[in-house]
Amino acid sequence: MTPQKNKTLGEFIIENQSEFRYSSGELSRLINSIRLAAKVVNHEVNKAGLVDILGTAGDTNVQGEDQQKLDVFANNAFIKTLTNREIVCGIASEEEDDFITIKGRSGNNDNKYVVLIDPLDGSSNIDVNVSVGTIFSIYRRITHEGTPVTLEDFLQPGNKQVAAGYIIYGTSTMIVYTTGHGVNGFTLNPAIGTYYLSHPNMQFPVDGNIYSVNEGNYVHFPQGVKDYIKYCQKEEDDRPYTSRYIGSLVSDFHRNMIKGGIYIYPNTAKDPNGKLRLLYECNPMAFIAEQAGGKASNGFERIMDIQPTELHQRTPFFCGSKNMVEKVENFMQLT
């Protein structure tokens, strides 16, 4: 049954508390803390052009990318909010080389969830006022509560996620998330700081005519991707498709989920495993895509079945309307 619009995110969480199996409210509190951190980051993102918060923080992250000041701010905001509420036992972030252990006031590491985040994805778009996003992924720890959280708690396949979502800081700010019972989108009313259910039960159209890929890398793509792009451009049947690429995963994904489309970041000679990170970009977006009836693979296997081996490992990523992902997989598997 589709939830009715305009209820607040807080009301929605309370009414759907029963969905969070084994949780006596921690997962709800966790989603609530992400909601708060998103408001704090949204406030900074929305004024980025007005204060000297643009430009780099002078550091580079584990990916060797310049850390934008807002990257650092967003990372700190999510870590601080999650830490203060004593809900998680550990956090991994694109902006942190290693995972962070969160101890409760008891000094123990006894909370049951770990969170993995890309605090500000697409941050290279900040200086040009293009929308960016936060991506989060939540697991129950697999090590015993009270024992120190370990890397093993973070290296779980995506099919073990208990919740995942993104915040898109666009023309409006939205939280879109799933706990394994469908996907719902909430839009922030900035005047009162409340999120309202604006997109209940989001569904990825099974087909679409938008393909999102950085064609500047075309010569480096695998032959199957080249063949698929030429297929999209052919004057035949329902084609040519439309090419739309913002350079911000959350924005491209969100548009494709509403209109129908596919996002592709393949492996290339330069990046044999692609660019996107499995744990805090691809797995959460794959969970959302599948919960909305879409599909996500690395061209050959389901993203959420990949067994991670490293915190910041990358993967080729094909995600979106089911028929479009299956079409490019056919091209990939023919070569």
Q: Are 92 and 100 in contact (CB under 8 A)?
A: yes
Judge whether 321 is annotated as a binding position. no
Minimum gap (Å) between residue 99 Cβ and ligand P6P: 20
Show the tokens assigned to 251. Answer: 């924005």
Judge whether 280 is annotated as a binding position. no
Minimum gap (Å) between residue 10 Cβ and ligand P6P: 29
Nearest residue (CB) to ligand P6P, 26 versus 252:
252
Nearest residue (CB) to ligand P6P, 113 versus 287:
287
Minimum gap (Å) between residue 155 Cβ and ligand P6P: 21
CA–CA gap between residue 75 and residue 69 (Å, rounded): 10
Minimum gap (Å) between residue 240 Cβ and ligand P6P: 21
Minimum gap (Å) between residue 123 Cβ and ligand P6P: 7
Neighbours of 24 (CB within 10 A): 10
Instruction: Name 271's Cβ contacts closer than 8 Å, sequence gap at least 6.
Output: 314
Minimum gap (Å) between residue 6 Cβ and ligand P6P: 30
Neighbours of 303 (CB within 10 A): 26
User: Which residue bears the tokens 């939280």?
Assistant: 175
Largest CA distance in the chain: 66
Q: CA dist 227 to 50, 61, 242, Å?
A: 45, 35, 16
Q: Are 188 and 10 in contact (CB under 8 A)?
A: no
For the chain, where are the E strands, in sequence order?
56-60, 66-68, 88-93, 100-101, 113-121, 132-140, 163-169, 173-178, 183-189, 194-199, 210-212, 242-243, 262-265, 295-297, 317-320
Judge whether 96 is annotated as a binding position. no
Judge whether 124 is annotated as a binding position. yes
Nearest residue (CB) to ligand P6P, 131 versus 184:
131
Judge whether 245 is annotated as a binding position. yes
Judge whether 120 is annotated as a binding position. yes
Judge whether 275 is annotated as a binding position. yes
Nearest residue (CB) to ligand P6P, 141 versus 277:
277
Question: Which pairing describes strands 113-121 and 56-60: parallel, antiparallel, or unpaired?
Answer: unpaired
Concatenate the DSSP letters of all residues of 126-157 into one string.
Answer: GGGT--EEEEEEEEE-SSPTTSPP-HHHH---
Residues that bind ligand P6P (CB under 6 A): 121-122, 124, 214, 247-249, 252, 275-276
CA–CA gap between residue 79 and residue 277 (Å, rounded): 19
Judge whether 24 is annotated as a binding position. no
Nearest residue (CB) to ligand P6P, 164 versus 276:
276
Judge whether 122 is annotated as a binding position. yes
Nearest residue (CB) to ligand P6P, 20 versus 221:
221
According to DSSP, the residues that pair with 93 across neighbouring strands are 117
Nearest residue (CB) to ligand P6P, 199 versus 220:
220
Minimum gap (Å) between residue 122 Cβ and ligand P6P: 4
Query: Where do the H-state alpha helices sit in 176-275?
Result: 223-233, 249-259
Judge whether 290 is annotated as a binding position. no
Minimum gap (Å) between residue 39 Cβ and ligand P6P: 22
| Known binding-site residue numbers for Mg(2+) | 94, 118, 120-121, 281
Which residues participate in the annotated binding site for substrate?
121-124, 214, 245, 275
Binding residues: 94, 118, 120-124, 214, 245, 275, 281
